[in-house]
Amino acid sequence: METNRVCIEAIGSLAQQLGSKRLCREVSRCMSVEELLSRVFEEKSLYFDRGDVVVYHRGRVVDLDEDVCSFDEIVITRLVRGGSTL
């Protein structure tokens, strides 16, 4: 069975929460980006909400429904809700 290697580069607080800035996974079937991230977060006992993250590949925003086998590396960052008040 052929596997694909996908690396996830976490930016900001996610790197600390995931315990590493870069995580690589071998996937044996092509799943959605969301499913892969959900599994990684679950491994780390973290809550995953697709509305809380933005995923990029080579500067392009990736839809979480896209096939993870289309990528060798993705970058993930957590959205910060709200903002400062003056």
* C-alpha span between 10 and 16 (Å, rounded): 9
Residue 20: per-residue pLDDT: 86
**pTM to 2 decimals?**
0.86
Q: At 29, which CATH number?
A: 3.10.20.30
Tell me how far the alpha carbon of residue 83 is from its chain's centroid. Answer: 23
pLDDT in tens, 5-62: 999 999 988 899 888 899 999 998 889 999 999 999 999 999 999 899 999 999 999 9
CA distances from 57 to 2, 23, 32, 70, 73 (A): 22, 15, 14, 10, 7
Whether 84 maps to a domain, the answer reads no
- For residue 68, give its domain range: 4-78
- N-terminal to C-terminal alpha carbon distance within the chain: 57
